[in-house]
Amino acid sequence: MPEMIIGMITTPNDFVIPEATLTGDPADLLEYLNDALLAPAGERIYYWPSVKGFENISQEQVYEDTPYAYLPVRDGNYRFKFMFRENLCLHKAMYTHRANTGRVIFIDSENQLFLTETTELGGKGFQMQLLHTEKLIFNDGSVATKSPVVVALQNNKEIDKTGLLVGFDAFSDLHRIVDQKLKLVGTATATTIVVEAMAECDATPLTGLVLADFLLVDDDNGAVHTIATAVEDTAIPGRYTLTGTGFETSKLSLAPADTLSVQAYETITPLQITIGALLMAAAKAKAKGGKGGRKGGPHPDQTLPGDLEKPGDGPRPDQTLPGDLPHPGGPERPK
């Protein structure tokens, strides 16, 4: 029998574990799940934090009581409320996983995966009708602050008729992707970019990255710029100097999670890299056909920076003063 639920894995609707993987070498099952945990976002499964509390909020079975018989009307569906306690960053991350579709695999206290059997004798998660992160439950002096998450299953028969338990002792070796961010240090040039890599939540430095872990994509054409070297600062953990030639305005991120040399991190928002402003301005001016920007000089009506009136000149006839006041000596404003 399934025992106390201590964890869960949410999956896309079409995620299935083949029979050979379920019943074969446990190492193959671990590898299969970890590959899916690091897959691209649309195909990825998610291993949630450890459960800190549980409440069964399932529907009751409905019966009709007549003078002739006691009749079953409908089965109630399974509904559970899980409590998590990690940090505010993870609460916000869980909030983004609200859904009314997808599947869920439960992990119990006896190190068993609890899922439903497929027609090919493989396994898949239970169909969810709702996954809903609720508002925080705050510490009131007697209970700790927690993040409640409600999971409502779509079809009770996936448990009652085709429920499946599979022993799995390696759940502690499953990967959880950590959101990561990059921070620019100083000003990027066409040959050098210095960045700091850290965890999104607590700014823990991300160390041990290598050249292949960085991805620099051009803003204009989507081309990947070649980074020649990526060297971590020996005095400042998580700070890297990237060098190359011809860097242009681009977006810098880590490579996809399944290819990183360290596990398991993902850049949520790529870092905008703008090469020194003066260099870019000069390059744009040159591309437009010469010094001074507009060919032939500024438009007659254009006021350039620094084009201030000389003391005593007074305003130009067509100039509007702040507040739209009448020019000195000019007609009064209509009342």
For residue 156, what are its two tokens? 């009770």
Quickly count: other Cβ atoms within 10 Å of residue 61's Cβ: 11
pLDDT at 238: 96
Residue 276 confidence class, pLDDT cut points 50, 70, 90: confident
Q: Which of 259, 279, 299 is where one domain is finished?
A: 279
User: Is a pLDDT exceeding 50 seen at residue 92?
Assistant: yes
Residue numbers of the domain that contains 254: 178-279
Could you tell me if residue 123 is inside a domain? yes
Contact predicate 49/83, CB 8 Å: no
* Same-domain check for residues 164 and 212: no
* Same-domain check for residues 128 and 46: yes
Could you tell me if residue 75 is inside a domain? yes
* Same-domain check for residues 169 and 250: no
What pTM was computed for the model? 0.76
Amino acid at 188: A
Could you tell me if residue 185 is inside a domain? yes
Could you tell me if residue 291 is inside a domain? no
pLDDT at 289: 63
pLDDT at 326: 41
pLDDT at 279: 56
Q: Which of 143, 173, 203 is where one domain is finished?
A: 173
Q: Which residues pair with 46 in a beta bridge?
A: 10
* Same-domain check for residues 193 and 58: no
pLDDT at 79: 97
User: Is a pLDDT exceeding 80 seen at residue 242?
Assistant: yes
Could you tell me if residue 103 is inside a domain? yes
Could you tell me if residue 186 is inside a domain? yes
* Same-domain check for residues 141 and 224: no
pLDDT at 41: 85
pLDDT at 311: 44
Residue 282 confidence class, pLDDT cut points 50, 70, 90: low
User: Is a pLDDT exceeding 90 seen at residue 58?
Assistant: yes
More confident residue, 177 or 314: 177
- Percent of the chain past pLDDT 70, that is, above it, reads 82
Could you tell me if residue 315 is inside a domain? no
Nearest to 46 by CA among 133, 158, 161, 145: 133
pLDDT tens, position by position, 283-313: 666 667 655 444 444 444 544 444 444 444 4
DSSP structure string for 243-291: E-SS--SEEEEEPPGGG-SSTTEEESSPEEE---HHHHHHHHHHHTTST
* Same-domain check for residues 131 and 270: no
Q: What CATH number is attached to the domain comprising 247?
A: 2.60.40.1220
* Same-domain check for residues 248 and 210: yes
User: Is a pLDDT exceeding 90 seen at residue 325?
Assistant: no
pLDDT at 308: 43
Rounded Cα distance between 228 and 212, Å, is: 10
pLDDT tens, position by position, 209-236: 999 999 999 999 999 999 999 999 999 9
